[in-house]
């Protein structure tokens, strides 16, 4: 059981997660559409700012982990939010002067903020302890439910707030969200790793990553997030290209984000009951179901159902992978293993988001979805293999 102070800290971290994901939702909902107004006749780079976000996340992931090991998670989180605030300000100014590349630079800084914020879920494990790791991760990620409604709605309602500079108001709103996040972080109490843990012997990184458990944990998070990014990044462009209105794409993304984080209220309990491998397997199968619905038609209902299924698939694969990876390292190995895991995940996301715009522009929505299937297939096979291997070990005593 968790005491009151622990629950409060996890609640505050969930609030920080909600604010960070609201920022991400604004970027995803509006960035590609902003790019269409800033680019010339060639629109193939329309998803580049979204790619810049996840590239910034990937580049800053390992430095963020090592930085927080030195100064503590709390100061690291505050530093990360300040980077995000600066990035949002640069995005706003770029929209004001009509600079696509300036907008991309600001987006990359916002991504660096995300790199720090992605450690909120690991901070929750530090606060709650290993015995409550599944629930702690789930509760923090559940804060994203708020982001599902808040982010896209902010993007939609503030899009024309400062005309003729469409979406300028949306990016100024991110500055406000960052300020609120800094306030919440100031009240979070996160324990520091004790000296004894720091002095414990560390294994070579290669020895850690060769563990079958680490491999399936990392690939589940990598491919779950990568597939989600590949499809979601292209969704606004695909919907507008099919004749749907921009407002429809905001609503689809909104429900997608709710589906990403809504199951977090019970995913931790499901992990505790059924184990990480089963949850990862179910998530990958839901991903296949999402792709199937996308390929069946281009009606508005297809986009809604497919993106909702994709959100739940991401939730199961990402939470399952996150909780599983925390079992693969010692306390003294935390910074380097978490840093590597996050780098692998967001390196994959950056690649997927960049491919998304190119595939959508050159080959269309169907190819975007078909490109996701092999990665989901790999996770399904690995999860099944691990489950069969575990049963054999139990049978052998």
Token couple for 112: 């660096």
Rounded to whole angstroms, the Cα distance separating 318 from 221 reads 5
CB atoms within 10 A of CB 105: 16
* 42 confidence band (pLDDT: 50, 70, 90): low
87 neighbors 106 (Cβ within 8 angstroms): yes
* Cβ-proximal residues to 36 (8 Å cutoff; 6+ apart), any chain: 43, 46
Could you give the percent of the chain with pLDDT greater than 70?
93
Using one digit for the tens of pLDDT, what is the confidence trace for 21-35?
888 878 877 777 788
Using one digit for the tens of pLDDT, what is the confidence trace for 293-347?
999 999 999 999 999 999 999 999 998 998 899 888 887 887 788 888 888 988 8
The vertex-222 CA angle with 389 and 23, nearest 5°, equals 145
CB atoms within 10 A of CB 209: 16
Instruction: With residue 138 as reference, give the H or E element that holds it.
Output: helix 133-142
Looking at CATH, the fold of the domain delimited by 8-190+203-395 is given as: Growth Hormone; Chain: A; (1.20.1250)
* 133 confidence band (pLDDT: 50, 70, 90): low
Mean pLDDT of 140-166: 77
Rounded to whole angstroms, the Cα distance separating 319 from 217 reads 10
**pLDDT over 70 (residue 36):** yes
> For residue 77, what pLDDT is reported?
94
Rounded to whole angstroms, the Cα distance separating 77 from 120 reads 8
Specify the residue for token string 């009951």.
Answer: 273
60 neighbors 111 (Cβ within 8 angstroms): yes
Using one digit for the tens of pLDDT, what is the confidence trace for 253-265?
888 888 988 887 7
How buried is 170 (Cβ within 10 angstroms: 0-12 exposed, 13-18 middle, 19+ buried)?
buried
* Cβ-proximal residues to 39 (8 Å cutoff; 6+ apart), any chain: 45, 46, 100
DSSP class of 42:
-
Using one digit for the tens of pLDDT, what is the confidence trace for 65-104?
889 888 888 899 999 999 999 999 999 999 999 898 999 9
Between 37 and 278, the higher pLDDT residue: 278
Segments making up each domain of the chain, as ranges: 8-190+203-395
Rounded to whole angstroms, the Cα distance separating 241 from 246 reads 10
**Average pLDDT along the chain:** 85
> For residue 198, what pLDDT is reported?
47
> For residue 283, what pLDDT is reported?
95
Using one digit for the tens of pLDDT, what is the confidence trace for 182-225?
999 988 888 765 544 445 568 888 899 899 889 999 999 999 99
Token couple for 243: 């004749």
Rounded to whole angstroms, the Cα distance separating 323 from 228 reads 19
Using one digit for the tens of pLDDT, what is the confidence trace for 225-256?
999 989 988 888 888 888 888 778 878 888 88
Rounded to whole angstroms, the Cα distance separating 351 from 386 reads 27
**pLDDT over 60 (residue 291):** yes
Rounded to whole angstroms, the Cα distance separating 47 from 361 reads 10
> For residue 196, what pLDDT is reported?
44
Residues in the chain: 397
Token couple for 199: 């002095």
- Look at residues 248, 219, 239 and name the one whose alpha carbon lies nearest to residue 360: 239
> For residue 126, what pLDDT is reported?
78
């Amino acid at each position: 059981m968790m005491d009151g102070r622990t629950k409060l800290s996890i609640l505050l971290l969930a609030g920080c997660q909600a604010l960070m994901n609201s920022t991400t939702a604004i970027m995803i909902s509006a960035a590609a559409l902003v790019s269409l107004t800033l680019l010339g006749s060639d629109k193939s780079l329309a998803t580049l700012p979204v790619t810049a976000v996840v590239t910034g996340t990937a580049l800053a992931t390992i430095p963020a982990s090592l930085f927080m090991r030195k100064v503590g998670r709390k100061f690291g989180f505050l530093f990360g939010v300040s980077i995000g605030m600066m990035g949002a300000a640069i995005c706003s100014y770029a929209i004001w002067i009509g600079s696509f590349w300036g907008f991309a630079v600001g987006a990359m800084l916002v991504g660096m903020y995300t790199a720090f914020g992605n450690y909120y879920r690991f901070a929750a494990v530090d606060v709650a302890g290993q015995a409550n790791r599944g629930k702690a991760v789930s509760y923090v990620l559940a804060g994203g439910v708020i982001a599902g409604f808040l982010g896209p709605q902010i993007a939609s309602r503030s899009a024309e707030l400062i005309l003729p500079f469409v979406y300028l108001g949306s990016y100024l709103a991110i500055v406000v969200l960052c300020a609120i996040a800094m306030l919440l972080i100031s009240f979070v109490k996160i324990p520091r790793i004790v000296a004894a843990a720091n002095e414990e012997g560390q294994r070579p990184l290669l020895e850690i990553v060769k563990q079958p458990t680490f491999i399936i944990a990392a690939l589940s998070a990598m491919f779950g997030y990568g597939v989600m990014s590949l499809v979601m990044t292209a969704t606004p462009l695909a919907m507008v290209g099919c004749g749907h209105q921009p407002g429809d794409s905001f609503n689809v993304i909104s429900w997608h984000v709710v589906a990403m984080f809504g199951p977090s209220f019970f995913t931790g309990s499901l992990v505790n009951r059924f184990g990480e491998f089963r949850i990862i397997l179910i998530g990958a199968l839901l991903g296949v179901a999402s792709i199937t619905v996308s390929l069946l038609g281009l009606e508005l209902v297809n986009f809604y159902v497919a993106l909702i299924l994709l959100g739940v698939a991401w939730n199961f694969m990402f939470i399952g992978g996150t909780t599983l990876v925390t079992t693969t390292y010692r306390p003294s190995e935390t910074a380097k293993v978490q840093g590597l895991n996050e780098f692998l995940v967001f390196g994959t996301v950056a690649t997927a988001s960049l491919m998304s715009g190119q595939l959508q522009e050159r080959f269309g929505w169907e190819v975007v979805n078909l490109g996701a299937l092999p990665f989901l297939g790999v996770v399904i096979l690995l999860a099944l293999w691990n489950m069969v291997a575990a049963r054999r070990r139990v049978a052998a005593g």
